[in-house]
Amino acid sequence: MFSRVARPTATLLRSLSTSSQHNAKVAVLGASGGIGQPLSLLLKNSPLVSELSLYDIAHTPGVAADLSHIETRATVTGYMGADQLGAALKGCDVVVIPAGVPRKPGMTRDDLFNTNATIVATLADACARHCPQAMICVISNPVNSTIPITSEVMKKHGVYNPNSVFGVTTLDIVRANAFVAELKGLDPARVNVPVVGGHAGKTIIPLISQCTPKVEFPTDQLSALTGRIQEAGTEVVKAKAGAGSATLSMAYAGARFTFSLLDAMNGKEGVVECAFVRSEETECKYFSTPLLLSKNGIEKNLGLGKLSAFEEKLVAEAMDELKGSIKKGEDFVANMK
């Protein structure tokens, strides 16, 4: 059985190796970028995907030609430029959006807002017009604002379904699993840490108290571990020294979430992933918590569960920043011409 949070690698490995046949058309918007290319490679490798539609403003025909030579069954088509966006989205079951600019040293995710907000709003508008029933998975930062943007754009078209719009926070879970496993000498494939809240800095709230297997840390180590999970993206940005942000680990996490969603859409029961979604679980309109997925997207929000006093404090401290980021996204769409 699945624990409260999906196993970190089981879904990914199964989707790469299983012989079961499923038919899903998946679009990657931003497929030529640092996340888009490795993400497209992972999707091409999966028998869960029958059609892979790759869109970007440049280089997509080359990426598509390259991937099309791989001996897996997914057909790959590249689309380039705004005039081909509609064709890229037609008939899609799932749309994954890693488009946008990455962080550079010294930048916060919120510094990306002006550029990426416009990109995400444009792509969400196209999804609303050309594949309104599709599951929309947004990777583009700042996720705390781009999910409200996506939702408000879909509302303008009268096609918003809160159960099918996801902010992909999976990399926070992947990192938490890896870091806890490293500290405790565990197999990371068997570690599950739910991560709730948002997807930036102190809004990233790892629930170490709910980790399976159960782990315990002294207060100072718990605080340091939490801080590392919250700032892990910055760790990569600094290490890449101006050459970009987390791309390979983000592609892995994006693929993991997409495969979980496709598994659930194919009728698999008990699939749970955390994601940043419309929520009634806290005073924030959007919040990431473990979600039970189904063919309809979100079947049930599993909520926060029992929190430790340390985690309750983290949730309380995240609220103002999260509300501000959500409002910033909503205001952006309200003020769009």
Active-site annotation, residues: 199
The annotation status of 81 as a binding-site residue, yes or no, is no
Phi/psi for 207 (5° steps) reads -95, 80
The annotation status of 70 as a binding-site residue, yes or no, is no
The annotation status of 32 as a binding-site residue, yes or no, is yes
The annotation status of 119 as a binding-site residue, yes or no, is no
Cα–chain-centroid distance for residue 122? 19
Distances (CA, A) of 103 to 34, 69, 188: 12, 32, 27
Centre a 10 Å sphere on the Cβ of residue 133 and count the other Cβ atoms it contains.
11
In this structure, what token pair is assigned to residue 261?
């969603």
The annotation status of 116 as a binding-site residue, yes or no, is yes
The annotation status of 31 as a binding-site residue, yes or no, is yes
The annotation status of 40 as a binding-site residue, yes or no, is no
Long-range pairs, 249-252, Cβ under 8 A, ≥24: 249/171, 249/174, 249/175, 250/35, 250/39, 250/98, 250/139, 250/171, 251/35, 251/36, 251/37, 251/38, 251/39, 251/41, 251/42, 251/98, 252/12, 252/38, 252/42, 252/174
C-beta separation of 137 from 254 below 8 A: yes
In this structure, what token pair is assigned to residue 197?
């809240």
The annotation status of 109 as a binding-site residue, yes or no, is yes
The annotation status of 14 as a binding-site residue, yes or no, is no
* Cis ω for the linkage preceding 213 (within 30 of 0): yes
The annotation status of 36 as a binding-site residue, yes or no, is yes
The annotation status of 56 as a binding-site residue, yes or no, is yes
The annotation status of 30 as a binding-site residue, yes or no, is yes
- Binding residues, by number, are 30-36, 56, 103, 109, 116, 139-141, 175, 250
Binding-site positions for substrate: 103, 109, 141, 175
Annotated binding-site residue numbers for NAD(+): 30-36, 56, 116, 139-141, 250
